Amino acid sequence: MTPDRTPDLSARVGTLSLKNPVMSASGTFGYGLEFAPFYDLSRLGALVVKGLSLQPTRGNPPQRIVETSAGMLNAIGLQNIGVERFIAEAAPRLDDAGAVYVANIYGRTEEEYEAVARRLSGLPGLAAIELNVSCPNVKQGGIAFGSTPEGLSGLTRRVRAATAKPLWVKLSPNVTDVGAMARAAEDAGADAVTLINTLVGMAVDPRTRRPRLANVTGGLSGPAIKPVALRMVWEACKAVKIPVVGIGGIQSAEDALEFLLVGASAVQVGTANFRNPNACMEIIEGIRDFLAREKIRSVEEYRGGLLLPGERGG
Ligand SMILES: Cc1cc2nc3c(=O)[nH]c(=O)nc-3n(C[C@H](O)[C@H](O)[C@H](O)COP(=O)(O)O)c2cc1C
């Protein structure tokens, strides 16, 4: 590649074509519109909105966020405006902004997930539905849908039958075999898997002797989880044929490139948006600069090129 040729950043997640492989992760980017003052939302590969439920949800009482070394714990409790307000108020503005947007959804029962997916399916501008399966199934004693292959499979099949939109299943890292969970999602009809969601963690105050979060436990995110996320994304890439989207602790272009190298089709950036609202843009630019410097023509050419010990580069 000649130095003046700009690398092709386009990425594909199944049937969905993205202008670049960088998306914002659910829950760290509001409904997208909050970030419009910082940059043109249409420059993102896609943005994933805060998890939507059938009814508006107020979430947990404070304290809901705690900083940890190299990360943060959150127990927001899935606060959101509900699917109807999203459709009426946020979606038209995202359309006007030219944003490619993905709706992250959750429910307490399979029926609730299905109902939310059905309501969203009529939105012409919606690029995909991402199922947050890290939620307790109230009909199964509160065990998270995504913690057993059966729970994951049943939910995915049900939502798959309810929508023609691309269906992404966001896997929980709080399992023993993430490859098996990815396969369960693939077999049940998912178009892609995205991972990882947060790792369950806890922080206590030694002086007051109390948990720092009102919910006691919360989800760990940020740089602290990146090595775990990368390993799980690599395992998922080996386990399934459908696209894998890498998430977890990505702060820089180099972090994103690691996920692409192990086979991810695209990445999502979460906690980094809190520290630096321009994080996604800087990562997109950084990937472009890296590919140009290394004389690599496209993201697609670089993707999945991990060299394991004993393997030789081309
Ligand atoms: C404050 C906060 C809220 C989140 N809300 C959601 C959510 O509603 N749905 C979801 O699937 N993931 C949610 N996540 C998880 C992130 O999308 C992401 O998977 C996780 O934070 C790991 O990526 P990161 O280390 O880049 O933040 C949330 C994370 C944070 C920090």
Note the pLDDT tens digit of each residue in 25-34: 999 999 999 9
- Ligand 1: residue of 134, 269, 271, 280 to mutate (most ligand atoms within 8 A of CB) is 271
| CA-nearest residue, atom 11 of ligand 1 | 132
Q: How far apart are CA 18 and CA 9, in angstroms?
A: 9
pLDDT higher than 90, residue 43: yes
pLDDT higher than 80, residue 214: yes
| CA-nearest residue, atom 15 of ligand 1 | 197
Q: pLDDT tens for residues 229-246?
A: 999 999 999 999 999 999
Residue carrying structure tokens 């944003």: 99
pLDDT higher than 80, residue 76: yes
Over residues 100-117, mean pLDDT: 97
Structure tokens at 137: 């199934």
Alpha carbons within 13 A on the beta-carbon side of 168: 32
pLDDT higher than 70, residue 18: yes
pLDDT higher than 60, residue 150: yes
Q: Judge if the beta carbon of residue 246 lies within 6 A of ligand 1.
A: no
Query: Of the listed 135, 171, 178, 287, which one is catalytic?
Result: 135
Q: Judge if the beta carbon of residue 26 lies within 6 A of ligand 1.
A: yes
Over residues 62-66, mean pLDDT: 97
Q: How far apart are CA 157 and CA 169, in angstroms?
A: 11
- Ligand 1: residue of 26, 72, 83 to mutate (most ligand atoms within 8 A of CB) is 26
The per-residue pLDDT for 278 is 96
Q: Judge if the beta carbon of residue 243 lies within 6 A of ligand 1.
A: no
Q: pLDDT tens for residues 243-301?
A: 999 999 999 999 999 999 999 999 999 999 999 999 999 999 999 999 999 999 999 99
The per-residue pLDDT for 3 is 52
Residues 181, 146 contacting (CB under 8 angstroms): yes
237 catalytic per annotation: no
| CA-nearest residue, atom 5 of ligand 1 | 27
- Ligand 1: residue of 73, 130, 198 to mutate (most ligand atoms within 8 A of CB) is 198
pLDDT higher than 50, residue 2: no
Which are the contacts of 281, defined by CB distance < 8 A and separation ≥ 6? 38, 39, 43
Percent of the chain with pLDDT over 90: 95
Q: How far apart are CA 182 and CA 236, in angstroms?
A: 6
Amino acid at 178: V
pLDDT higher than 70, residue 4: no
Q: pLDDT tens for residues 169-194?
A: 999 999 999 999 999 999 999 999 99
Ligand 1 center to residue 72 CA distance, Å? 10
| CA-nearest residue, atom 19 of ligand 1 | 197
Tell me the Cα Rg of the chain: 19
Ligand 1 center to residue 175 CA distance, Å? 17
Over residues 4-13, mean pLDDT: 91
Ligand 1 center to residue 15 CA distance, Å? 24
The per-residue pLDDT for 49 is 97
pLDDT higher than 70, residue 1: no
Q: How far apart are CA 177 and CA 91, in angstroms?
A: 36
Name the band, by pLDDT with cuts 50, 70 and 90, for residue 138.
confident
| CA-nearest residue, atom 21 of ligand 1 | 221
Q: How far apart are CA 268 and CA 66, in angstroms?
A: 22
| CA-nearest residue, atom 10 of ligand 1 | 26
Percent of the chain with pLDDT over 70: 99
Q: Judge if the beta carbon of residue 273 lies within 6 A of ligand 1.
A: no
